[in-house]
């Protein structure tokens, strides 16, 4: 699956030394790759790319795993789009 995350948020979501991303990954059996990662292209196309056809490809984050695990991980990624006061 893929999800749209504004590129300026990628570094904040990943966090220092990948800490934030590791927290998300540890709760789900998924692989999450951001557009500038070396493994991004190796994950191939996302199955819901049609939903994102008008989106800048630099903002498409790929999430691989079971459908349920991907949905939960994407939900956690989307929390980072919220203002800090809402995330807390």
For the chain, domain boundaries: 2-87
pTM: 0.86
Query: 72: Cβ–Cβ under 8 A, 6 or more apart, which residues?
Result: 27, 28
pLDDT in tens, 12-65: 999 999 999 999 898 888 999 999 999 999 888 888 988 988 999 999 999 999
Cα 48 from chain centroid (whole Å) = 14
What is residue 32's three-state secondary structure? strand
Superfamily per CATH, domain 2-87: K Homology domain, type 1 (3.30.1370.10)
Helix axes 67-79, 19-26, angle to 10 degrees: 140
Burial letters for 72-84: b for 16+ Cβ neighbours within 10 Å, e otherwise?
bbbebbeebeeee
């Amino acid at each position: 699956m893929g999800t749209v995350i504004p590129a300026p948020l990628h570094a904040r979501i990943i966090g220092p030394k990948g800490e934030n991303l590791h927290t998300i990954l540890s709760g789900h059996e998924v692989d999450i790759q951001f557009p500038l990662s070396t493994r991004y292209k190796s994950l191939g196309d996302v199955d819901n790319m049609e939903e994102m056809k008008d989106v800048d490809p630099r903002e498409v984050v790929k999430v691989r795993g079971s459908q349920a695990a991907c949905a939960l991980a994407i939900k956690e990624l989307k929390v980072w789009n919220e203002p800090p006061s809402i995330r807390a």
